[in-house]
Structure 1
Amino acid sequence: MTHTPAPTPEFARLVLHNVAQVLVGKEEVTTLALAGILAGGHVLLEDAPGTGKTMLARALALSLGLGFRRVQFTPDLLPSDVTGVSVYRPGSGEFEFVPGPIFTGLLLADEINRATPKTQAALLEAMGEGQVTESGVTHLLPRPFVVIATQNPVEHEGTYRLPEAQLDRFLLRLSVGYPTLEEEVRMLGRLQGEHPIAALGAVVAPADLLSAQRAVRGVFVSEAVQGYIARLSAATRAHTHVTLGGGPRASLGLQGSAQALAWLSGRAFVTPDDVQRVAAAVLAHRLSLKIEARLQGQPAEAIVGEVLAREPVPAETAAAEAAAMTVGAGAG
């Protein structure tokens, strides 16, 4: 019996094509960012100024039909400027909660590492639990809810290093990167007139995103691939240049991101290639390196590469594919 994955990745094709109208040559980073959103996670974009980080976030929000709010993180930004505050109303004699900009579908936390750690910490509950607690009262955030944060490299003046707890809330850390010479020429031609972001509209609805997220969670992951994921996380913890490696949340994030990539490819099961493709984006920002490694300028991505090269890759078996087909047929 032939099994066809459902729903089809038409959702993904529409979104990726729409974003490509704005960003030239950024298909891979757009795909990975969309995978992070489909996995129910949040995305950190780290790169030099002017590489298109903010534009990617805006284009994704518009394409997905999500409400969009942008907060410029600065050293004087207060936690209540993000989450909201209770205001006393003399007429009623009661306090009323005034929601902050975090109450939206997609929040762009622009240059998040320019704010103080106290303000950064205001996002922890929202990102982890989808809610904000103020004066002992819990307020649920909209669903879906996504945070895309941008940050300049930590060496830049006026930046604060994000604490480990904050970094761990981001499913993926991605770099947009500079365009090639050919892509930059295409970009100049495309932006001679009105910026294409002005005409960009939604190609799917928030309800479609929620449905796609449910479908992603149903993508089959074999025990062999789950073991591979767990070994990768454990290997980062045991690496000689690492003081703090990927924990259980990293393993869950690696599995969820791989499921999203498989679904984007129209498959009902995860392969080791899916895991490898997203491993650096999920694991690298969660690693705390020893002082010697930092002094030598060794990037965390290189350590993830070493782990991938050393860890045996499970064979893709016909049994795993058959099991995925059974799961898919049962779900239908």
Structure 2
Amino acid sequence: MAKRIEFSQTGGPEVLELSEFEPREPQAHEVRIANRAIGLNFIDIYFRTGLYPVSELPSGLGTEGAGVIEAVGEEVEDFKPGDRVAYAVGPLGAYATHHVLPAEKVIQLPDPIGFDQAAAAMLKGLTVQYLLRQVHDVKAGDTFLFHAAAGGVGLIACQWAKALGARLIGTVSSPQKAELAQRCGAWATINYTEENVVERVRELTEGAMCPAVYDSVGRDTWETSLDCLAPRGLLVSFGNASGPVEGVNLATLNKKGSLFVTRPGLAGYADTRERFEAMCRDLFEVMINDRVHINVARRFRLGEAGEAQQLLADRRTTGSTVLIP
């Protein structure tokens, strides 16, 4: 019998339940995937806690995974049973042994990339792709700040920035995380538990500050991020790990140097099949060419999803975490 994680009310990790279910047959334009690995992401916690609403309860959880196509619906021409595939954006329900989703949300997985690598890389890797290649097109010689540099997204960003010839300054919470981020390509790191981030950025940039700051932390780092920007710089706020940013005074952007702020998301950049495929090609290329190595630091059984999420929320993880069904 197939199994999945679901929750009937929002709350802490204890609301997650492992249940049995009968996978449905894919309808037209859909495929059913037998998952081999499932990605764990902060957005999953946002849905579980109610920060991001779900359409109905009980609800499944998770949007990212990799596996083998088990069945296809009518009018699906690009996939067949047995194909190795991966996905990052789609209906909730990836925390399961089987998942049905639109074929347009699925991509063929190149043979050199393993299932656990793909499950750990799709959402985080595509996030880094749109952050560094689209939201702000990072060029060789650029210097920018990236919060949570030792996390799953951060370690990919460190490597991708180095491959581009850019200088990434990463914030971390410990010497061990600093060492990991630097090993993955960070030009410099700032331990925010011991150093003043703004002052250290000013030293590293010789007073110029950064043309771009990438912030997935949210509420706790909002003011710091603004203060690290050069005049007319861009703050890319793409997460809420410490809580959502609220009560923003737009006049502050003027006062601090005519700054720009954007709040992007993967769905807004991979909004057509053509864009999604192009972003995946870019990601798979840097993975296959070993410019970006996906660090799968932890693996948990599907029934341990709550424990895995708590470790992520407590910032006690580095790299990526996957669930194995």
TM-score, structure 1 normalization = 0.24
Q: Which has the higher helix share?
A: 1
- Give the number of the structure whose alpha-carbon radius of gyration is greater: 1
Q: Which has the higher strand share?
A: 2
